[in-house]
Structures are given as C-alpha cells and as structure tokens.
Structure 1
Amino acid sequence: MSTDTDTTDPIRIAFMCVQNAGRSQMSTAFAERERRRRGLEQRIEILTGGTDPADAVHDEVVRVMDEVGLDLSERKPREITVEELNSCDYVATMGCSTLDVGDVDDGVDVRDWALTDPDGKELEDVREIRDEIERTVAALFDDIESSA
C-alpha cells in the first residue's frame, strides 16, 4: 500500500500563441524556471504550442533568453490542440491567438496577456518583452499558489 497521500492531479498550464516561436516559448522557459525555484515540479505541468507553428524559435528570442541563462536554441515550435487546452487549468495566450475562447471549456482559466510580438524587433525591444513576460509568469505562479 502506498504511503503517498497526495492524490491531487497536477495543475496544468499552457502557454500558446500562433507561431509558438517567441512569447509562448519565453513564457514556457520562465515557467519552468519558476516551477523549479518554487519546488513545484511534482505539482505543475507546463505545455506550450501554437495554432500555426513556425519552423524555429525566433533568433532574437533565443539571443535575449540566453542573456538570462535560459537556452531556447534546441526548442521546436509545435501545434497545440483544443483537447490539450481543455486538459489545462490555466491557458495563457499572448495577444496573438487565433484561439476562439468559446472552444475552451468553461473550467479553464484563459488569460490573454496582450504582449507585443518580438519577431523582427530590435534586441532592446525584445528584452523589454522578455522582462514583462518574466514578471507576468511570476504573477501567475503567485495566483496559482494563493488559490491552491
């Protein structure tokens, strides 16, 4: 008989946009770091994807994330399905989503972060977007912990 009394399902978070090559990838990397820092590896699952994925993460995104010690060079944009989104507790869209919120179940907390697209922007602008994402991800984790 198991002595583990924690039978609670993990909290699932999805970060999505159209290309899954910029904002959602940065959000995912910061969420993975935040999950590790807070010791929530067993409690939080993280998904990412796009509705029309690009071939690769944007070069400027890889560069500015490397500046803060997060390597996105091997990440591959992927498609995310409505079924995956419906399996989540939280879905963060980046302000660019083609997601029809009506497609997602009522029990999913959908948040549109309305972030500027970093694709093709100057590095200083991408750094500002990165820093905003870092703060927003930390605030999401604060919300999750306070409601748990």
Structure 2
Amino acid sequence: MSIYIEEVNKGNWREIAALEVTENQKDFMESVSFCLAESFIEQLTTSLGLYDDNQPVGYAMTGFYFDEKRSIWFDRFMIDRRFQGQGYANQFIPLIEKYIIENYDVQIIRLSFVPGNNPAEQLYKRHGFVRTGQHDSEGEIIMEKHL
C-alpha cells in the first residue's frame, strides 16, 4: 500500500464525490457530495481525498480552526464501502493528524460522532481521542485529542 492525502481540487473532486459508505452507515454521515459542497460554499474547511496507489479510498474534512483555542475539527471521516475492513481507517488517522499539524498551529484536534456509532468511537479511542462530555449542535458526541 502506498497511501497518501490530497486536498480535493478541480482535478479530483468527481472521484472523491463518488465515494460512499455502506447503507447501514448513511445515518452517521452526510454524503461526500454534500460535504464537498459545504466545504466549497462555507470556505471554513478543507476537503481531503484519501488515496492508495492513485485509487481514492476515503474522504475527510478538516477546518473550523479556532486561533484563540488553537483547536481544529477533524470531521466527516469515511472509508468507501468497497475498501472498508482493510485497515485504511487506522492508517489514515495518523496521516490526517500529520496534515493538520503541518498546516495549522494547533494543540487540540476535535471530532464528533453520532451516538450509537460504537465502531467510530472505538476507532478514535485507539488513536488517543477522549470524550469531552459535550455534544455539538446536532447532538453528536464530541471527542478531542491534546497534542
């Protein structure tokens, strides 16, 4: 495997927009197309394509950087349904953290997950994220990692 991250741009947005989660995961995240549109319109986030040997296998979003708190959101993380169960999530989280550290002056990375999405919570715990006891405006459980 030769995995890497590439910011979504004019050349790759269509292949990233085509990524999908499994049917039973659709309640846990907006579609990638919606995320790309939100990122483009609000311009507060950066959309990231997750690749293995030039094959798009996933998507993530970073943004909503808060200078005074030196915190940022790692958001909308997904691996395409065709590539799940192959270890990609565990491999990409450290790469996304590295991308964040290289592009932002941060001390805290925050994320959220839909209550009941236990696999997501366990994945994030393995990578050092802990619950904050807070929920976001959508009722999702917030976790964070101090660097």
- What is the TM-score with the length of structure 1 in the denominator? 0.28
Higher helix share: 1
- What is the TM-score with the length of structure 2 in the denominator? 0.28
Report the structure number with the largest CA radius of gyration. 1
Bigger RCO of structures 1 and 2 (CA < 8 A, at least 6 apart) = 1
